[in-house]
Structures are given as structure tokens and as C-alpha cells.
Structure 1
């Protein structure tokens, strides 16, 4: 990947697809070209569901919810169709935490609630799956609703490490 934008102002990969090569900070915000950023999550990695949960938890614990979102997004795009709602909801929760940590109360609360509704709806629609891959769906939904209320109440920006959820209680 190039380190500077191409003639059209966008980074492109070898196949000509747009890719943003700018370095990013720990919350996924683009930094100026040449700045030192954090390592990015590789895209398109196929993991087992258990590995996805473990990697995402490690990233959340490290204060990198944007990167955890990318792990969930890989699972959502590569996993079984019937599980996409779960992974998409988890990705929305991670992005909601990202927005709240960046100081965006409106976007953070909205995505936290949307993600909570998605994971709860998925578990409700899948009998016997209240704890898919060890994920405590009821606890996670309660965490998201509580954090959304705090964010709306002005608790932004927040510390992503202190606010991170525990996926598997």
C-alpha cells in the first residue's frame, strides 16, 4: 500500500481498490501521513468464533475498541449467515464505545443501543443460545444500556479501558 494518496487523493491497493493507508491512533482516528500510529488490524481474517471473541476482548481490554470492531466485522462477513446479526451487533457495540471514547455522545449512545438490541434479538431468536461462544448477552446488553445512559448524561470522552465490557463473564 502506498503511504501517500494517489492522484485521485485516495490510497489504492494493488488491485486498485480504495484503501486508507494513513496511520491511525488507538481509537481508529486518522493521523497525518508519516505520523506514528498503532498497528492496524489486518482485514479479512477468518477466525473461529472463539478466537474472534478472545481477540476482540484483548483489544477492548487494551483500550482499542475500534480495532475490536474490525475483528467482529471479519466474523460478521466470513461467518455463517445465521450468525451475522450477532457479529454485527458486537461490532456496533465496539463502535459505540469508540465514539463515546472520542467524545461523540450522540453517536456513541445510538450505536450502543443498536448493538445491544441486535445481540439480544439474535439470542432471543436462537433457542438455547443466550450465551453464544461464552458471550454473556444479557450482561453485555445491560452494560451497553448503562453506558449509553452515562454517555448521554455527559460522561464523554470516556476512558475506553475503564469502560470496556467483559464479553464472557
Structure 2
């Protein structure tokens, strides 16, 4: 398994509007190009998830974050830098993303990926990735690759061949930061 080969295969799928099953800094995720509305629709359909329920995106670093959020509150940089576990932040006024990825209240959840594979993939792809747990809506989040259901495995266009056991097999914390710097914990 060569990480660079897996990155190139993943980018080929993403550029075609396809879906990936890939290891993230939290759990195994279903992903696609976060700027492609048709690809985002496929994620909702595969998960059997209402499109009114928002999906999370991953970016490679804070420079990329700034290209997809109109105004990143200063406190967000501290949270990103000092969080001891993966933390998704819900931001007001996302920009340059698929419209069906943006919640009805004009927000989007974005996490700066800490996983080496994700960072390299996103950097090379040059766009954020959707990242949602690899399960059908309403079913438990798989704690390992072995727990991912056959419907998910068959429903994606490519399974990244880095079947690592995740050391952090739990979803990220979720924090909402409004543009007036009010911080609200959504999920610990």
C-alpha cells in the first residue's frame, strides 16, 4: 500500500464526482468533493439521510478554511490550535461550497484534518472533502473498517486501501462559533 498511489486513485474518483470510503482522523468516512452538488447528493442518497441534516467537511489547513468561510472568527484559530482531539467547528456564511452542503441557517461544519492521509489528499485535491461517518443514517457509527456495512462498501466508487485500525474511533467534537464569537458546544 503506497499512500501516494492511494491519493492519486482517490483524486481520480473525486474529479469524476465519485464517492470515497476513506480513513479520517476520527472514523472511516464517506467523502466527495465538497464543491460538487451532484456528488453531495450521492452521499445523502447512499446514507439515506435527509438533505436537511448537514454534513461535515474537511480542509487541509487554516489557509484552505479561509477560502470557504466568509469570515473566520479569531477564536476559531485558538480552538483549532489547542484542541486535544479532532474538533469540527460550525461556521456562519460558508462560501464556494456546494449549495446542498450548506445548512438552512447558512452554516457549515468544517474540521481541519489532522490525519496525514487526509491532509495530503486534500492538499493535492485543492478542495475540501465531505466527511460523514460510513454508516446508514440512524445506525451506529462503525468503530472499525470491519464494522462497515456491505451497502456502504458497494455504494462508494472507491475504498481507500489503507485499512488502518483507527486509534481514535469516535466522531469529532462539534462546536458552533457565530460571527459575534459566541461559542456553543454541540457534541463533546
**Shorter-chain TM band:** under 0.3
Give TM-score scaled by structure 1 length: 0.25
Higher-strand-fraction structure: 2
Higher-helix-fraction structure: 1
> Comparing both chains, which one has the higher relative contact order based on Cα–Cα distances under 8 Å and sequence gaps of 6 or more?
2
Give TM-score scaled by structure 2 length: 0.23
